[in-house]
């Protein structure tokens, strides 16, 4: 008699790692890498001699794209430690500890890259009219300076070895185009409006039932890993005052995130 076999992905989700960007310390001893073990993106630091690793910093928010400073003592990452659903660039001790917000801006700041002398950090941000451009900031924080002014999507950046300039790639591959029509005016959001929205979001989170919201989001994560109807748990999460970003983060854990393949 044939036996019915049922496969339940939820049994295996936490055993599957989704790996992200990585970097090796200048002395070759340590490996920092992003990994998603089924709950949230986090950064781990591995001793390449012993193969032992530890979490760089525990957080309920995603932590991505680690890069060692040239001295090997610090690591730059992108994260949403403050819970406002916008990435900032942070610097932490390589052995773990408190994170310092370097960019501190309501728009996204991502993909940090140290200058060869370790005094500056280049990053990609959409703070200029929601266009991804290259910015640079002192490694200790402060006002960032915009280096590029392009309408195409900036995807990769790299410092010149002497630290005098930065190479970057921009464009949308096969969807790139040339037109003679006047450029479309961009809507530029007043920074004061952005700051007000961030404060409203923080107040929203502080006033909700954190336990009920967490339980609703965990259900979204569980159901998204299987074949059941996902709409009811999403609606329950909305009723528990979960944000769109929090719900989307749980879906990314199960399904990943699309990244356009750019062909040169």
Do residues 34 and 20 make contact, with C-beta atoms less than 8 angstroms apart? yes
Do residues 253 and 36 make contact, with C-beta atoms less than 8 angstroms apart? yes
- For residue 185, the model assigns a pLDDT of 54
Average pLDDT over residues 20-38: 89
- For residue 84, the model assigns a pLDDT of 66
Do residues 17 and 26 make contact, with C-beta atoms less than 8 angstroms apart? no
For the stretch 225-261, pLDDT in tens is 888 999 999 999 999 999 988 898 888 888 877 665 5
Q: How far apart are CA 239 and CA 177, in angstroms?
A: 43
Name the percent of the chain lying above pLDDT 70: 83
Q: How far apart are CA 40 and CA 249, in angstroms?
A: 8
DSSP structure string for 174-230: GG-----SPPPPPP---HHHHHHHHHHHHHHHHHS-HHHHHHHHHHHHHHHTSSS-S
pTM higher than 0.75 for the full model?
no
Run of H or E including 249: helix 244-255
Parallel/antiparallel/unpaired status of strands 131-138 and 120-128: antiparallel
Domains annotated for the chain, with CATH where assigned, are 9-175 (2.120.10.30), 208-255 (no CATH)
For the stretch 168-195, pLDDT in tens is 887 755 444 332 334 435 566 777 887 8
Q: Which residues contact 196 (CB under 8 A, 6 or more apart)?
A: none
Residue 30 in this model has a pLDDT that exceeds 60: yes
- For residue 44, the model assigns a pLDDT of 92
Which has the closest alpha carbon to 199: 188, 191, 187, 209?
191
Which has the closest alpha carbon to 68: 37, 103, 40, 43?
43
Q: How confident is the model at residue 202 (pLDDT cuts 50, 70, 90)?
A: confident
- For residue 49, the model assigns a pLDDT of 92
Residue 216 in this model has a pLDDT that exceeds 60: yes
Q: How far apart are CA 14 and CA 12, in angstroms?
A: 6
Do residues 203 and 196 make contact, with C-beta atoms less than 8 angstroms apart? no
- For residue 36, the model assigns a pLDDT of 83
Average pLDDT over residues 146-173: 82
Residue 217 in this model has a pLDDT that exceeds 60: yes
């Amino acid at each position: 008699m044939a036996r019915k076999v049922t496969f339940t992905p939820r049994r295996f989700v936490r055993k599957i790692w989704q790996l992200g960007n990585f970097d090796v310390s200048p002395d070759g001893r340590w490996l920092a890498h992003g990994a998603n073990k089924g709950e949230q993106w986090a950064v781990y630091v591995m001793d390449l001699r012993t193969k032992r690793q530890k979490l760089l910093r525990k957080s309920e928010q995603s932590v991505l794209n680690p890069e060692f400073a040239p001295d090997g003592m610090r690591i730059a990452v992108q994260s949403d430690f403050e819970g406002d659903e916008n990435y900032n660039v942070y610097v932490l001790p390589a052995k773990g500890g408190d994170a310092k917000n370097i960019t501190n801006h309501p728009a996204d700041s991502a993909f940090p890259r140290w200058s060869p002398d370790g005094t500056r950090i280049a990053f990609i941000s959409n703070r200029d009219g929601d266009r991804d451009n290259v910015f640079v900031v002192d490694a200790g924080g402060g006002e960032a300076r915009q280096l590029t002014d392009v309408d195409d999507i900036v995807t990769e950046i790299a410092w010149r070895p002497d630290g005098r300039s930065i190479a970057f790639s921009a464009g949308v591959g096969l969807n790139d185009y040339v037109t003679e029509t006047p450029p479309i005016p961009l809507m530029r959001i007043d920074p004061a409006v952005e700051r007000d929205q961030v404060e409203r979001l923080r107040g929203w989170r502080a006033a909700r039932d954190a336990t009920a919201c967490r339980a609703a989001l965990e259900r979204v994560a569980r159901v998204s890993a299987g074949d059941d109807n996902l709409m009811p748990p999403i609606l329950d999460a909305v009723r528990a005052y979960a944000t769109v970003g929090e719900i989307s983060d749980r879906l990314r854990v199960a399904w990943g995130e699309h990244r356009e393949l750019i062909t040169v």
